[in-house]
Chain A
Amino acid sequence: MATVTYSQASRHYPGTDRPAVDKLDLEIRDGEFLVLVGPSGCGKSTSLRMLAGLEDVDNGAIYINERDVTNLPPKSRDIAMVFQNYALYPHMTVYENMAFALKLRKTPKSEIDVRVKKAAAMLQLEDYLSRKPKALSGGQRQRVAMGRAIVREPQVFLMDEPLSNLDAKLRVQTRSQIATLQSQLGITTVYVTHDQVEAMTMGHRVAVLLDGVLQQCDTPRALYDTPANVFVAGFIGSPAMNIKTVTLSDDGGIFGQMVLPLTRDQIAKAREGGDGKVTVGFRPEDCQLVSASEGGMPIVVDLVEDLGSGANVYGHTAINGSEERFVVATERRTSVNLGDTVFVKPRTDHHHAFHATSGVRI
């Protein structure tokens, strides 16, 4: 049972001009599954490794259960970590891999045995206990890595992209297994991934990082519905949100002949240093295909991704002389063909507005 707190934690690699992790403030609740997500190089893995003690904290502090662990070695932090490449000891059997940490702590043999067997049963590894890692499949190795963390019964689980070496189908399957396991065990978990689908499906809360700076930390639903800035809006969701910076009028953002209405409050905020522009976004599924007479935006179709349950329609249109690309998610059995011109109308209550220069939600 543990909480984790990052307090202004920073990591600055010597010889680089900006910190890899910049003044990270994050509170993780007891038993929570928190996902750190962001594009590569955003500092998510570094943040995790700082918590593990594998990376120095140059400024600020990290607490586990109110205990300052900033300068403690990894083994004194009572954490367990699952690595992307699993990092199993190749010369040890599955059993020995799982028992290793307990053995180092001089846990009685009988207790080690009970705990290893229990974890093996949870992960369907009983038949493989005497095998070496090289005789296992990728999925099995991944489960051994999980098992090695579970037998420790640590305060916090740390997982660094544990699914990225699995094939797509196994990844989806293991994703739900890990989420289930975590809720059964109730152990606070920090999980790093670059995959926003993984983040959204697994995390109780998701922290989005960019360039070492925390952008937003909230529930998956809140991230999706009210992204704090343009980056989060574009990063979360697949296909990505349509985001355009357009001319601001007294009523809203001008999309060709169409105006996306904004509230007076939003318009006032957009005007402050916005240079007469506003950034507006709407999700592919938050718009409809309408007929020409209903005043939608005309879009020439470049590509149709038919998913069976629906289709993603990619197309372009000219706004103020520049070609802008859009993607629209259509319902099942809507027939759209390459080269067609379709008319798109965003649902007026579901669009997002951001300040044109700062990118902050308004």
Chain B
Amino acid sequence: MLDMAVEGPKLLMLLYGVIGFFAIVGLLLLALDKVSGRRDRWVALGFLTPALLLVTIGLVIPAIRTFIFSFMDADSSDFVGLDNYAWIFTQPETRKVLGNTALWVVLVPTVATTVGLVYAVVVDRAKFEGLAKSLIFMPMAISFVGAGIIWKFVYAYRDPEVADKQIGLLSQVVVWLGMKPANWLLEPPWNTLFLIVVLVWIQAGFAMVILSAAIKAIPAEITEAARIDGVTPWQMFWRVTVPSIRPALVVVVVTISIASLKLFDIVRTMTGGRFDTNVLAHEMYVQAFDSYDDGRGSALAVFLFLLVTPIVFYQVRQFRKRRQEAM
């Protein structure tokens, strides 16, 4: 039930907000209507201003401030030059973070794309294709936090000396196989690999859906021509299927790479970055919001931004190239 004493003012605020929004938009349109003369320019300006304002307040100014803070100390009072950046690359803990992030960025896109591609090819035109595809796509619908919690249960461990039953799926499977379960999330470097499995589990479905659509878009006549030309299934895959879906492959790998670089939630929910599983985005959060070191947090943010930028540029260029080819 809604407690009106508490919720009432909030709802009222919401109402004010909505009315205010429409009032401003209405006034703006009214004003534009009255303007005579060089109308087009004013109309354009009128429509652009709110968006520009929001982008400036929400994105541009914080970005500039973050950039400046990255050269300042923990409470942003004195400039410290490149100290924060030096810290990223010199400390053993931060080096570990960089190494882990590299592991994520290399492993997740390759493994998830490979799994998705193989799966897409295998189930293509199979009887149970719809069901098989829904099964692998379902993880996409789960939030990263949800996935982290699910997999925390999969990896759950009870000391066999004390407890006589395992509640974790993996631990129980290992017991069934006649081996001793381990405390999966505590032992580096394996624990990072166990975390990586979770993101692969999520992203493989995404890769599969995109690649499956691309495979279906290959004209049947091309695969028939290849069969007549005498390809083996292996050659069909490497010489016809893969080159035909190359643009889709690039999109998938790039998208998953960015997701891996920015990964935060899984590490946060499953290990909290402890036991040598920390990654860049998580360390940034820890520095900025747990340790209140704005300097280091900002430096990590800028560094992360620098890593993502070239990938985004590459992707935009690919899109442009494809658009030109299509024309």
Interface residues of A (CB under 8 A from B): 52-54, 73-75, 79-81, 83-85, 87-92, 100-101, 104-105, 134, 148, 152
**Which residues of the partner chain B approach A152 to less than 8 Å between Cβ atoms?**
229
Proximity bits, B227-247, A CB within 8 Å = 1, else 0: 111110001000110011010
Which B residues touch A89, using CB under 8 A? 222, 225-226, 240, 243
Given contacts A104-B235, A134-B325, contact A87 B230 (CB under 8 A): no
**Closest CB-CB distance, B235 to chain A, in whole Å?**
7
Contact (Cβ within 8 A) A91 B221: no
CB within 8 A of B230: which of A84, A91, A104? A104
Cross-chain contact A87 with B219 (CB below 8 angstroms): yes
* B93 within 8 Å of A (CB atoms): no
Find the A residue at minimum CB distance from B232: A104
Number of interface residues of B (CB under 8 A): 18
Do A73 and B227 touch across chains, with their CB atoms under 8 A apart? yes
Residues of A within 8 A of B240 (CB): 89
Q: B224: CB under 8 A from chain A?
A: yes
A92: chain B residues at CB < 8 Å are 243
- For this complex, 10 residue pairs linking A to B, each with C-beta atoms less than 8 Å apart, are A54-B224, A74-B228, A75-B231, A80-B228, A85-B221, A87-B222, A90-B222, A100-B239, A104-B230, A148-B225
CB atoms of A87 and B221 under 8 A apart = yes
Complex Cα distance A227/B244, Å? 47
Residues in A with CB closer than 8 Å to B244 are 90-91
Contact partners of A104 in chain B: CB under 8 A = 229-231, 235
For B242, give the chain A residue with the smallest CB separation. A91
A87 touches B225 (CB 8 A): yes
C-alpha gap A54/B227 in the complex (Å): 8
- Shortest beta-carbon distance from B7 to chain A in Å: 60
Interface centre among B228, B240, B243 (most CB of A within 10 A): B228
Is the pair A91, B228 in contact by a Cβ cutoff of 8 Å? no
CA distance A89 to B244 in the complex (A): 8
Q: Which residues from B are CB-within-8-Å of A81?
A: 224-225, 228
Taking the nearest CB of chain A, how far is it from the CB of B244, in angstroms?
7
A100 touches B229 (CB 8 A): yes
Residue of A nearest to B229 (CB): A101
A83 and B246 contact, CB distance less than 8 A? no
Using CB atoms, name the residue of chain A closest to B220.
A87
- In B189-213, the 8 Å CB interface with A consists of none
**Shortest beta-carbon distance, A282 to chain B, in Å?**
42
Q: Which residues of B contact A100 (CB under 8 A)?
A: 229, 239
Interface pair B230/A52, CB less than 8 Å apart: no
Complex Cα–Cα for A104 and B228 (A): 11
In the complex, given contacts A75-B231, A88-B222, what are 8 additional A-B residue pairs having Cβ atoms less than 8 angstroms apart?
A52-B228, A74-B224, A81-B228, A83-B224, A87-B225, A90-B222, A100-B239, A148-B229
Which residues of the partner chain B approach A52 to less than 8 Å between Cβ atoms? 224, 228
Residue of B224, B235, B246 near A87 (CB, 8 A) is: B224
Chain A residues with Cβ below 8 Å from B230 are: 74-75, 101, 104-105
Q: Please name the residue on chain B nearest to A80 by beta carbon.
A: B228
Q: Which residues of A contact B224 (CB under 8 A)?
A: 52, 54, 74, 81, 83, 87
B243 CB contacts on chain A under 8 angstroms:
89, 91-92
Alpha-carbon distance A134/B326, docked complex (angstroms): 10
- A75 with B221: CB separation less than 8 A: no
Closest A residue, CB atoms, query B326: A134
A83 touches B227 (CB 8 A): no
Provide the bound-state CA to CA distance between A190 and B66, in Å. Answer: 72
Q: How many Å lie between the Cα of A100 and that of B236 in the bound state?
A: 12
Which residues from 241 to 278 on chain B have a C-beta closer than 8 Å to any C-beta of chain A?
243-244, 246
B219 near A75: Cβ-Cβ < 8 Å = no
Q: Mark B74-114, 1 if CB is under 8 A from A, else 0.
A: 00000000000000000000000000000000000000000
What is the distance, in angstroms, from A312's C-beta to the closest C-beta of chain B? 37
Closest partner residue, chain B, to A158 (CB atom): B228
Least Cβ–Cβ distance between B318 and chain A, in angstroms: 15
Q: A91-B244, A91-B246, A104-B235 are in contact. Are A83 and B221 (CB under 8 A)?
A: yes
A83 in contact with B229 (CB, 8 Å): no
B229 and A79 within 8 A (CB): no
User: Residue on B with the closest CB to A85?
Assistant: B221
Do the beta carbons of B227 and A75 come within 8 Å of each other?
A: yes
Please measure, in the bound complex, the distance between the C-alpha atom of A92 and the C-alpha atom of B246, giving whole angstroms: 13
Question: How far apart are the CA atoms of A350 and B243 in the complex, in Å?
Answer: 60
Mark out the residues of chain B between 305 and 327 whose CB falls within 8 Å of any chain A CB in the assembled complex.
325
A89 to B231 Cα, complex, angstroms:
13
Complex formed: what's the CA distance from A160 to B292 in Å? 72
Query: Within the complex, what minimum Cβ distance (angstroms) separates A250 from chain B?
Result: 58
Q: Which 7 residue pairs of A and B lie closest in terms of their CB atoms, listed nearest first?
A: A75-B230, A87-B221, A101-B229, A91-B243, A87-B225, A74-B228, A83-B221
In the bound complex, how far is the Cα of B228 from the Cα of A54, in angstroms? Answer: 8
Q: Chain B residues with Cβ under 8 A from A91's Cβ? A: 243-244, 246
Tell me which residues across on chain B come within 8 A of A90, comparing CB atoms.
222, 244
Give chain B nearest CB distance to A82 CB in angstroms.
9
- Taking a contact as CB atoms under 8 Å apart, the answer to whether A75 and B246 are in contact is no
Q: Are A75 and B325 in contact (CB under 8 A)?
A: no
Distance of B152 from chain A, by nearest CB (Å): 44
Closest to B222 in A: A87
Q: CA A223 – CA B231 in complex, angstroms?
A: 40
